[in-house]
Chains A and B, each alone.
Chain A
């Protein structure tokens, strides 16, 4: 497992993914935070000056955008590398349990996400001064909780994209993934409204929809949960549990998929 993990880290390094992550993340975080800090917004003669508190909230969302990009690239292109085409045959005969593959990919992607999160943290210091970390308004608790929650969700997303890449191909996965995120987000919003309806009952079409939706990965709830955590509130254990269950399900499906790389038919026989 350790050798496999180190090998994946070498791939991440040699493919220049780390350099790209650092450059991309630093550029987006720094420019985003600099823009928002001390920004003056005037709406209908009400003038608001954005301060560090607002910059932190925006920083969380900037970080989400970069983390989503990193997890998507890793999931669509990097994790399936050893399992695509004829290379999958060489990977298949490696004397290592197939279970270790998703775990290694998860660890590698996790490392990249941690780099991204460290860059967010450093960007706060660069833009607002390093003494900002010790100030009362710096939300250490919500920052750590948000990053942990987001890492779990993005691990599920990364592995789902990797699995989809192996099944339908990489280009299809990009569009399928984007469409699924969009649709699930809309469904999540509907589900929120439906369940708040005082006449809500499980024995209706709306009820059935909510019942089924609640068993799916809570992608639609993700942005609501993320928002709650970034404000220092907590999220439901149900959603956390669902994310963990879906991570296990996707891991199992991924292992099942790489167990029989039979769809790759050689030129011969």
Chain B
């Protein structure tokens, strides 16, 4: 195994969480090592988004422990090292794309980034109109801006929730390349998606969730060897659960 893959970046151990009195996830355990791109897959209501919310400290876990970049819980200092693209969020509509990224870069500023240069590069790369108000953006453009902000500042951990929703095919291909580039540079990526063919091409490992629990975690290579594709592996595991 590559030396860079030995450091644990994220570890969930027996985590359960509730929405009110409804149990959303139960005894969820999985681990991400440095440089891994892990796909989180499951049907609607499987607990993918809830797991992401719990690990990012948006929902208090009822039981279990979370270790993220060596810390036991998310703090504002930790968020400097994490990029997150939620599924349906809209950035502040009174800002332009450039203003929004500049605003975020003030908080994420690290030694490894040159904010102005990186922001301009991101605006071009994600094909964003820099001076147009977010209010006037299409759904796809908003989505691209959400993704751009997640990559800003070269975070150690990037969490993407259904990143392909609303993206055109060209942007999907570009995003795939960017994820591979970040993976090579040692960034850890947790990627929740429905599109299993895409996950097969992008991820090194997958975590399969079903009815609030993790039912399987393995490398994409092993799953393809065993079942022929991630899609078939998913069907088999869900069928058996």
Contact = CB atoms under 8 A, between A and B. Distances in A.
Interface stretch (B42-50, B170-178, B200-208): B42-50
Interface string A69-103: 00000000000011000110110111111100000
A263 B18 CA distance: 10
With most chain B CB atoms within 10 A of its CB, the pick from A15, A95, A96, A267 is A95
Contacts of A7: 92, 103
Interface of A: 3, 7, 10-11, 14-15, 81-82, 86-87, 89-90, 92-98, 260-263, 265-269
Contacts of B88: 86, 266-267
8 contacts: A10-B94, A10-B95, A89-B86, A95-B79, A95-B108, A98-B76, A265-B50, A269-B50
B10 interface: no
A269 B47 contact: yes
A269 B86 CA distance: 13
A133 B58 CA distance: 53
A266 B82 CA distance: 20
Contacts of B47: 269
Contacts of A260: 57-60
Nearest to A99: B76
Contacts of A266: 49, 86-88, 161
* In the complex, the 9 A-B pairs of residues with the closest C-beta atoms, listed nearest first: A269-B49, A262-B59, A269-B48, A95-B79, A14-B94, A86-B89, A89-B86, A95-B80, A3-B106
A269 B89 contact: no
A3 B59 CA distance: 27
Interface residues of B, number: 46
Contacts, number: 99
B89 A87 contact: yes
Given A268-B44, A269-B49, A269-B50, A95 B76 contact: yes
B198 interface: no
A95 B107 contact: yes
Contacts of A11: 92, 94
B91 interface: yes
Contacts of A262: 19, 53, 58-60
Q: Which of A86, A93, A261 has the most CB of B within 10 A?
A: A93
Contacts of A94: 76, 79, 104, 107
A268 B94 contact: no
Contacts of B52: 269
B51 interface: yes
Contacts of B108: 95
B129 interface: no
Interface string B21-56: 000100000000000000000101111111111001
Given A11-B94, A93-B84, A269 B77 contact: no
B95 A89 contact: no
Contact of A92 (B49, B56, B80): B56
- Among B52, B58, B104, the most chain A Cβ lie within 10 Å of the Cβ of B58
Q: Which of A7, A267, A269 neighbours the largest number of chain B CB atoms within 10 Å of its CB?
A: A269
Contacts of B86: 86, 89-90, 266
Given A262-B53, A262-B60, A89 B89 contact: yes
A263 to B, nearest CB: 8
Contacts of B192: 268-269
